[in-house]
Amino acid sequence: MSRTGITDAGEGTSRRLFVYNGGFLWQPRLRHILAQAGFSLCTGRPKEDDCVGVWGRSPTAARGERIAARSGATLIRIEDAFLRSLHPGRSGEPPLGLLVDRRGVHFDGRKPSDLEHILATHPLDDAALLARARDGMARMKAAHLGKYSAVDPALPVPQPGYVLVVDQTAGDASLTACGADRARFVEMLVRAQEENPGTRVVIKTHPETTRGLRPGYFNEADLSDRVSFVDTAVSPWTLMEGAVAVYTVSSQLGFEAILAGHRPQVYGQPFYAGWGLTEDDMPVARRERRLTRAQLFAAAMILAPVWYDPYRATRAEFEDVLAALEAQVRAWREDRAGWVAGGMRRWKRRTVQAMFGAQRRVVFEDNPGRAAARAEAAGRRHMIWASSAEDSVRAVRVEDGFVRSRGLGARLVPPLSLACDGHGIYYDPRQGSDLERLIAASPGLSEAAQDRARRLIRQLLRDRVSKYNLGGEPVPLPAGHRILVPGQVADDASIRLGCGSVATNRALLQAVREANPAAVIVYKPHPDVQAGLRAGAVPDASRWADVVLAEAEIAQLLEVVDEVWTMTSLSGFEGLLRGCRVVTMGVPFYAGWGLTRDHGAVPQRRLSVHGVTLEGLVHAALIAYPRYRDPVTGLPCPVEVAVDRLARGPLPGRGAWLGGLARMQAAMARRGSFWGS
C-alpha cells in the first residue's frame, strides 16, 4: 500500500476508479498518471469496493460526490501537483504530476487531507529524504522553477525593498474553501500598506490573468503612487529576492516564498499554513506541529505526489520531473524570442528546426551578414554553425553534443544533442567558452549534482554509450600495456585550432611510439575516415601501431586499454569516464583541469582553476552544456533520456531524403570539405 492507503501500481490489483468528468477520459496524461497510481478509469455505477474520482472541488465534483455517497465507494479527490508544467493547465499543457487524495483536498483547511496527514504524522526525519528536499529547493531556485515555470529570469523586476502582494484567480476553489472574496484581498492589500508604512507595494498578477484566461481580484482602481502591478512573466524567485515581506491568501507563491526564506502573511488556509513557517490570519487549530522548510518540501514535493515521466510514460521520482522541467524550461527561455540561423547546411536544418523551433520557427539565412541583420531587425537571436563561423561574427555557435547519435554525422544521421555557446565554442581553446566556464565553476557543485554525474557515468558505462554508438564485436588484443590512439579527421576544427607540432594522425602515432617503445599500441581510425567520407587516412599506420582496428566499438576498446593518447579526440574524455590514463597532445576541452597529462599549450586560465573532478567535468560537458531532444516524444529532455534512447531505442531513421543524400555524399567522398560539419 502507498503512504495514503491507496494501492500503487505494481503493488496489487488495479482498483476501478469511476469518473464523471470528461477531462479524465479525453486527457491521456491524466489516465496514464492515474494508472501509475493503481487505478483503471471506468464509467457507470460503482460498487462499494470501487473508487470515485473527482477533480478537487471543481463544479463537476458534486456529481461524483453524490454517487460515491450513495454507493459507498471511496471518494478520491485529484489535483495538480505543485510542480506542474511550463504553462497553466488552461493553456492545454498536461501536468507532470498529481495529488491523489482520499481524505480531502490539500487547499481546503476545513478538513484534513492526505498531504496534511503526512505533514502531521510522518517522522520527516530521514537524513536522505531531507537531503533530497534541500537539493530540490536549490535546483528549483537555480532554474527558477515553480508550479508554472514559463518565466524569464532575465525580465526586470522592481527595485528591491517592496512588499509583495499575491493576486489569485477569481473563484479559485482554495478561496471558496476559506470564504475569501474581493473584500478579503482588499483587506490584505490595506494591511500590507499599514504594516509596512512608506514601503512600495507590488501586486503579482496570476499567470492565467496575464494570459486573459481568468480574471483576478485586483484591478486598476487598487493602484496608487505606492502600489503597482507586475504582470509580466518574471521569475517568482527573482521577485522574492527583492521583497521585504510577502502577503497571500492561499497562492502557491506563498509556499515558494517559504522556500525562498520568507515568512509570508497568510489570509487563507493553504496546506503550507499552520506549521510554524507562516503568520496566519486564519489559523487551522489542528495543525500544531512545527516543521522546517525541508520537512514541508519533502512532504509536499517528494512524498505526496504521483510524479510522471513524460518520455517513458511511467511513474517517476521527483528528481526525474525536475530534470524534465529543467530541460523544457531551458528550451523555452532560449527559444522564445525565435532564431535566425546562418551557416546551416540544408541537411541539418530539419534537426535545427526540431531542436529550436518549437515555439517560433527558425528562419534560415545562408549569408552570415544578412542573418545577423535579420535577427536584429526581428528581435530574434542569431545562431550559426560553429565550424562555419568567422571570428568576427557575434552569434550563438552551435555544434553537435558529446552524446550524439547511433550513426555518423558524416552519414547524415541526425543528432539527439546540440551544444549552444554564446562565448566561443568548446573545441577552440584560443578563447573561453560556455563549457569552459561551466567546468571552471564545477568545484562549487552540490553533492547532489555530483551524485547525478556519478549515476550518469554508471549509465554510460553500463550501456556502453559513446558519441556515435556504431556497434561492433569485441576484438581480442595482445597482452601488455595497451595504449589506444584514436584517429581524427584531418581538417577537424579542433585540430586546426587546438594543436601544435603534433597535428596529424601520422605524427600522433610516431609520438606515441617514441614515448612508449614497449607498449601495445592500438590505432583506431576515425569512423568518418574509415568510411571514406573524410580525409585523415594513415595507410602505413602499422609501422607504429601493433594493432589497427577499423570496426571496433570505441566504448568496448576503452574497457580493455590502459591509456589513451590523443590530439583532441572525444575518445580522451570517454577514456576518463572508464578510468583510463589520458595523454593529450593538443588542447581538447577536457585538458588542463588536472585530470589528464597534457603536452599541448593549455591556456593559463584553465591551469589556475583547482578542484575540478571527473564528476564536475561530466556534469558540465554532458548535463549542463548541451541541449537534448527526445526523438520519440519530440520534447526537450535530460541527458539520461537521450542515453536511454541510444542504448535501447526506439530511434527514428534518418529518412529517405537524407539516406539518398548520404549515398551521394559517399560517392563524392573525395570532396570531403564540401560535406564537413
The confidence score (pLDDT) of residue 88 equals: 87
> Residue 292, class by beta-carbon neighbours within 10 Å (0-12 exposed, 13-18 middle, 19+ buried)?
middle
For 200, the grid coordinates are 512600495
What's the whole-number mean pLDDT along residues 261-276? 98
Q: Which domain, by its residues, includes 543?
A: 463-615
- For residue 419, the surrounding DSSP H or E stretch is strand 417-421
Q: With 80 as the cut, is the pLDDT of residue 264 above it?
A: yes
Orientation of helix 127-143 relative to helix 447-463, angle to 10°: 90
The confidence score (pLDDT) of residue 670 equals: 44
Torsions phi, psi for 597 (to 5 deg): -100, 120
The confidence score (pLDDT) of residue 664 equals: 53
For 472, the grid coordinates are 561492433
Q: Residue 430 has what DSSP assignment?
A: T
Q: Residue 148 has what DSSP assignment?
A: B
Q: With 80 as the cut, is the pLDDT of residue 674 above it?
A: no
For residue 299, what are the contacts with CB-CB under 8 A and spacing of at least 6? 115, 118, 119, 122, 124
User: Is 467 part of a structural domain of the chain?
Assistant: yes
User: Is 212 part of a structural domain of the chain?
Assistant: yes
Cα separation values, 321 from 78, 97, 235, 254, 618, Å? 19, 8, 19, 22, 21
Question: For the residues of 272-341, what is the DSSP string, one character each?
Answer: TTTSSSSEESS--TT------HHHHHIIIIIIS-EEEETTTTEEE-HHHHHHHHHHHHHHHHHHTT-EEE
- Per DSSP, what are the bridge partners of residue 201? 163, 227
* Four-CA torsion 22, 63, 19, 17, nearest 10 degrees: 170
The confidence score (pLDDT) of residue 655 equals: 55
The pLDDT confidence band at residue 163, using thresholds 50, 70 and 90, is very high
Q: Which of 419, 424, 423, 409 minimizes the C-alpha distance to 345?
A: 409
What's the whole-number mean pLDDT along residues 52-67? 94
* Four-CA torsion 58, 90, 310, 146, nearest 10 degrees: -90
Alpha helices in 151-203, H assignment, sequence order: 173-177, 182-194
Distance between terminal CA atoms of the chain? 54
- Report whether 119 contacts 298 (CB < 8 A): no
Radius of gyration, CA atoms only, the chain: 29
pLDDT in tens, 520-576: 999 999 888 887 778 889 999 999 999 999 878 888 899 999 999 999 999 999 999
Q: Residue 480 has what DSSP assignment?
A: S
What's the whole-number mean pLDDT along residues 13-27? 91
CATH of residue 235: 3.40.50
Q: How far apart are CA 562 and CA 516, in angstroms?
A: 13
What's the whole-number mean pLDDT along residues 166-186? 95
pLDDT in tens, 361-377: 999 998 878 899 999 99
Last residue of a domain, one of 286, 308, 330: 308
pLDDT in tens, 388-406: 877 767 899 999 999 987 7
The confidence score (pLDDT) of residue 651 equals: 77
For 317, the grid coordinates are 521520482
* Four-CA torsion 423, 427, 431, 433, nearest 10 degrees: 30
The confidence score (pLDDT) of residue 2 equals: 45
User: Is 404 part of a structural domain of the chain?
Assistant: no
| More confident: 411 or 270 | 270
Residue 650: asked if its preceding bond is cis (omega within 30°), the reply is yes
Q: How many domains does the chain have?
A: 2
User: Is 500 part of a structural domain of the chain?
Assistant: yes
The pLDDT confidence band at residue 594, using thresholds 50, 70 and 90, is very high
Cα separation values, 343 from 131, 165, 390, 413, 491, Å? 46, 48, 10, 19, 18
The pLDDT confidence band at residue 475, using thresholds 50, 70 and 90, is confident
Longest dimension (CA), the chain: 88
Q: How far apart are CA 285 and CA 288, in angstroms?
A: 7
The pLDDT confidence band at residue 483, using thresholds 50, 70 and 90, is very high
The pLDDT confidence band at residue 9, using thresholds 50, 70 and 90, is very low
User: Is 637 part of a structural domain of the chain?
Assistant: no
Q: With 70 as the cut, is the pLDDT of residue 5 above it?
A: no
The pLDDT confidence band at residue 675, using thresholds 50, 70 and 90, is very low
Q: How far apart are CA 208 and CA 432, in angstroms?
A: 41
- Report whether 158 contacts 242 (CB < 8 A): yes
The confidence score (pLDDT) of residue 672 equals: 42
Three-state SS for 573-613 is HHHHHCCCEEEECCCCCCCCCCCCEECCCCCHHHHCCCCCC
| More confident: 413 or 24 | 24
Last residue of a domain, one of 308, 340, 372: 308
User: Is 419 part of a structural domain of the chain?
Assistant: no
- Per DSSP, what are the bridge partners of residue 522? 484, 547
For the beta carbon of residue 160, count every other beta carbon within 10 angstroms.
10
Strand 417-421 relative to strand 626-629: parallel, antiparallel, unpaired?
A: antiparallel
User: Is 387 part of a structural domain of the chain?
Assistant: no
User: Is 172 part of a structural domain of the chain?
Assistant: yes
Last residue of a domain, one of 615, 635, 658: 615
- Per DSSP, what are the bridge partners of residue 398? 385, 420
Q: Which of 541, 533, 566 minimizes the C-alpha distance to 667?
A: 533
pTM of the model: 0.91
The confidence score (pLDDT) of residue 411 equals: 65
